[in-house]
Structure 1
Amino acid sequence: MTSIDTETKRKLREMGAVALLEALESQDEDLTMGMSFDERLRLVVDEAHSVFNHAKIEGLIRRAGLRYPAADLRQLDKVDERGLDQNVIAQLGTCSFIERGQNVVFQGFTGSGKSYLGCALAKRACQHRIRAHYIRMPDLEEAWAQALDKPMGTTKFLKKYAAFSVLVIDEWLLDHPDESMRSMLLELLERRYDCASTVFCTQYAKKDWHQRLGSGVHADAIMDRIVHNTVWVETGSHNMREHAALNQ
């Protein structure tokens, strides 16, 4: 273990270089005795950088508010039975859709694993050090209602939710949004259009969206900002909640 004097430790902590300090302190002098200064420094920096990255990723995952924080695209059950296209799932896992500003829709019956897939995709984005956030549609509606009652509330609301590189909206169109909510959705999706990715988890097929959005000009405009640049994933009818309960 490398010996470091108290004053040097204090300075490293003061600079916020705790990971570097811990990497220095954990370096085995016997194993590194024959190494040059550059080689030892590289080892220390690599170790500190690894710790820094891990902490950053864990922080992104924690702040994403995932319903299923342990969700993993690489560990999906019954892929064939559910009719999931493994190539599409693997491609989504690269997060290249985010660079292209594409949206994703997970559509299927209740219990078919839409929420899990949405969380897994958001977590994958976090692992790529991309800022993501998960929210249920009813909670988004409640947050919007609260924003309406606060000074500058709507401005702050739109700024917050437009800023996430990946925004997962679960239970999309579970209820019919009112006029205020439709106006908000149009403005939010306009701000996110072509520069951020929105993931929709819904039991409703695309053909039902227009009617659930009120069938008017807001519905036209909202649909126009979603359907043309979106990866559609059918999650099927297999009940994954029942499957999970049987395997407990």
Structure 2
Amino acid sequence: MTDIVDHLNALGFRASREQIHALLTQLTTSRASPQQTLEGLASLERRERDVRNLARRAKRAALGAAKPPADYDWSYPKRVDQDAYEDLLTLGFLARHQNVLFRGPPGTGKTMLAKGLGLCALESGKTVVYTHLSAALADLLRQESLPAVERRLRRYTSVDLLICDELGYQPIDARAVDLLFQIISRRHERASTIITTNLAFKDWANVFPGAACLVPLVDRFTENLVLFDIQGDSYRQRAKPTPPPKKPGKRTPKT
């Protein structure tokens, strides 16, 4: 049996020697037919490849400690459309190459909901990249040659779903805006992009001061857009413990 395991590993089986040996032992004990043995080996290898593929895509996605959408407290925001989010979880927007904009005040769960879609996409076999928008643009600006920029751009343009978090927290200079325009343009009508922001569209000009490509950038991003608005106060502020009342200080007696 060891020879069979060696042959399978030499043929590129991803399953470990221990997994293959255990399966073959089980199949031999149960007097499985040759067809059942082949089906068992194929099923084992398929499961192992799926596990490794998911692990590889999850590492590339860089979602970090993403919480599942089921953990979101839908009762807290003053206004949020749970049914619309449930529809997004079907991933139909990916098939339609739609973009998604999560918009709302800080601390209302925009990042959590965006990452939740990323998790769902990963589990469905899609490729995903999550990044803070400022970090992605800084990464591109650090490249020292045009070929290097092109290679790095492919990281953000080649995936099924790109999640750009926190548009609006830092101003973006003209060079960086041009790079963002490249990303949005190359993904336009080909793949979906999610952006989270606390800004209305009319305020985007404050983030991209003097950018000549702002209008076409917004036009391409919003042409096929799902707008997901959240209204409410910061959940993080609610979660902070209320400090105990201060004790009155001792008065110094007058002399």
CA distance in 2: counterparts of 1:203 and 1:36, whole angstroms: 62
Helix, strand or coil for the counterpart of 1:225? helix
Distance 1:30 1:222, change over 3 A: closer
Match of 1:188 among 156, 180, 183: 183
CA deviations 1:64-96 (Å, max 9, x no partner) are 111334x212x1332133233222222211222
Structure 1 unpaired stretches of 5+: none
Q: Determine whether 1:218 maps to 2:233.
A: no
Equivalent residue, structure 2, for 1:206: 201
Moved over 6 A (4+): none
Does the CA-based 8 Å contact 1:68-1:116 persist in structure 2? no
Q: Determine whether 1:129 maps to 2:125.
A: yes
CA deviations 1:112-152 (Å, max 9, x no partner) are 111122222112111111111011122122112202x3352
Distance 1:87 1:12, change over 3 A: same
Equivalent residue, structure 2, for 1:99: 95
Helix, strand or coil for the counterpart of 1:105? strand
Q: Determine whether 1:237 maps to 2:220.
A: no
Offset of 1:108 from its aligned partner?
1.1
Q: Determine whether 1:160 maps to 2:151.
A: no
CA distance in 1: counterparts of 2:215 and 2:228, whole angstroms: 22
Helix, strand or coil for the counterpart of 1:18? coil
Distance 1:24 1:192, change over 3 A: same
CA deviations 1:216-241 (Å, max 9, x no partner) are 54111111011121111123324233
Q: Which shows bigger deviation, 39-48 or 156-165?
A: 39-48
Offset of 1:34 from its aligned partner?
5.4
CA distance in 2: counterparts of 1:244 and 1:46, whole angstroms: 46
CA distance in 2: counterparts of 1:62 and 1:37, whole angstroms: 38
Output the amino acid matched with 1:38: Q
Equivalent residue, structure 1, for 2:166: 171
Output the amino acid matched with 1:67: G
Equivalent residue, structure 1, for 2:54: 57
Output the amino acid matched with 2:95: E
Match of 1:81 among 76, 83, 86: 76
Output the amino acid matched with 1:233: F
Equivalent residue, structure 1, for 2:250: none
Offset of 1:102 from its aligned partner?
0.6
Output the amino acid matched with 2:192: S
* CA RMSD in angstroms, aligned pairs only: 2.4
Structure 2 unpaired stretches of 5+: 242-255
Does the CA-based 8 Å contact 1:210-1:220 persist in structure 2? no
CA distance in 2: counterparts of 1:67 and 1:244, whole angstroms: 21
Considering only CA atoms, is the larger Rg found in Structure 1 or Structure 2?
A: 2
Equivalent residue, structure 2, for 1:112: 108
Does the CA-based 8 Å contact 1:171-1:201 persist in structure 2? yes
**TM-score computed with the length of structure 1 as normaliser:** 0.85
**TM-score computed with the length of structure 2 as normaliser:** 0.83
Distance 1:18 1:184, change over 3 A: closer
Equivalent residue, structure 1, for 2:39: 42
Percent of counterpart pairs with the same letter? 21
Does the CA-based 8 Å contact 1:20-1:45 persist in structure 2? no
